[in-house]
Amino acid sequence: MTSSELGGKPVKESTGGTRERIKAVALELFTEHGYEKTSLREIAERLNVTKAALYYHFKSKDEIVSSFVHDRLDRMDALIAWAEMQPATLATRQELIARYADTMFATEEYAVMRFFEQNQTVLKSLTAGQRMRDRMMRLALALARGDDSPGAQLRAVVALFAVHSSWFAIRGPQVTDAERRKLALEVADELLARIGEG
């Protein structure tokens, strides 16, 4: 189903473009109404397509969530692979957290972060959520590499949380994304500087 007919509507975008559109609309609805209260029918209606057309791309809401989590996992895997090829130094840790912040502050990531924040209990039961937690722990291990102490592991996790929580903990429309990112990295760098000290 490329440029033929999608639910009676002519489609001018590729299958990949259609999938991205479905994911964007689903995220919007999941964030507005919650994952459990949003049906595939509502997603299809918002897209102005038939449910059958939606099924062509995604068989369930879980598949939709898995698809945008998969995109995020790919980016995290690339970061982890990069870090594992670098020396276990403070400079590497700071560069890794900065690269992670870059992915977190990308425009398309904002909706995903809002979804994660508002649907944490649902994510715990989904396979995608379990895979995300696994990657976060691997990323924390990459940040703490060279220091196996419990303190290093905790500082690495909290450094990641500083980047995450900056989306929600720093309130107010006067704070720009650039300022939010800068503050998050300042806090993360303070924590990372203590790794490997002892």
Tens digits of residue pLDDT in 150-166: 999 999 999 999 998 88
SS3 of 146, please?
Answer: coil
Q: What's the pLDDT score for residue 46? A: 93
Assess whether pLDDT exceeds 50 at residue 82. yes
SS3 of 87, please?
Answer: coil
Categorize the per-residue pLDDT at 20 as very low, low, confident or very high, splitting at 50, 70 and 90.
Answer: confident
Assess whether pLDDT exceeds 70 at residue 14. no
C-alpha–C-alpha distance, residues 18 and 178, integer Å: 31
39-45 CB contacts, 8 Å cutoff, 24+ apart: 44/7
Q: What's the pLDDT score for residue 44? A: 93
C-alpha–C-alpha distance, residues 109 and 40, integer Å: 22
Q: What's the pLDDT score for residue 72? A: 82
Phi, psi of 89, deg, nearest 5? -120, 170
Instruction: Provide mean pLDDT across the span 69-76.
Output: 85
Categorize the per-residue pLDDT at 107 as very low, low, confident or very high, splitting at 50, 70 and 90.
Answer: low
Q: Higher confidence at residue 13 or residue 31?
A: 31
DSSP 104-131: HTSTTHHHHHHHHHHTHHHHHHSHHHHH
Which domains are assigned to the chain? 5-59 (1.10.10.60), 66-192 (1.10.357)
pLDDT over 70, % of the chain = 88
Q: How far is C-alpha 85 from the chain's CA centre?
A: 23
Q: What's the pLDDT score for residue 198? A: 65
Q: For residue 194, what are its two tokens?
A: 């203590």
CA atoms within 13 A on the CB side of 61: 19
Q: What's the pLDDT score for residue 9? A: 41
| pTM greater than the 0.85 cutoff | no
